[in-house]
Structure 1
Amino acid sequence: MTDFSQDPQFWGARALGALAGSAISLIYLLPKGSREAASRMVTGFACGLIFGGPTGLWLGQKLDLLEHLSGFEIMLAGSTAASLSAWWGLGLLARLAARYGAKPGG
């Protein structure tokens, strides 16, 4: 069983990174409404918390930076990247569905 009693610093890095990723993506691609903003914000935050660690390790390995960064920095960067990616992906899918989806009554 996985041990979820990790150092609170890592949970703080996950939450901060997930929030930062969601906030950054709000700046780049404004949502059309409050419902879209809320759903994308929650999705981005959840993905940042869940996938922050693996994403940070993957990025660190690909960029060959693992020996130069602390665990906090790896977790922060991974959570931000995972949150930003999820937010953009959901936003893109919502826009494509709205544009090319079946029109009601037509």
Structure 2
Amino acid sequence: MADFSNDTSLWATRALGASAGAAVSLIYLLPKSRREAASRFFTGLTCGIVFGGPTGIWIAERMDLVGQLSAVEVMLSGSAASSLCAWWGLGILQRIAGRYGARNR
């Protein structure tokens, strides 16, 4: 479960990682409008803050780095990864819905 303590440094790390992941997602696939850019950025930021802890722990365990990384590094990488993946996952779902939704009309 995510650690939602009042530790300011972990909240700052979450926000920094989530912002970095959201920015990278915008760079990889440029948005068509300002509204889409804002939507994608805030979606990534929210997912990075919420799911950053569990994602960081999962990545560290999968890569067998649990004893070698600090809590800040785990949180930063987890927030960036979940923020980056949030938009890509939603984008895939949007394309699938658009493809199959258009067939039913």
Query: Taking structure 1 as the reference length, what is the TM-score of the superposition?
Result: 0.84
Q: Which residue of structure 1 aligns with residue 44 of structure 2?
A: 44
Whether the 8 Å CA contact 1:40–1:91 is kept in 2: the answer is: no
Q: Mapping of 1:1-106 within 5 angstroms? A: 4-98=4-98, 100-102=100-102
Q: CA RMSD in A?
A: 2.1
Unaligned runs of 5+ in 2: none
Displacement of 1:40 in angstroms is 1.3
Identity of aligned residues (%): 61
Relative to the length of structure 2, the TM-score reads 0.85
State the aligned residue count: 103
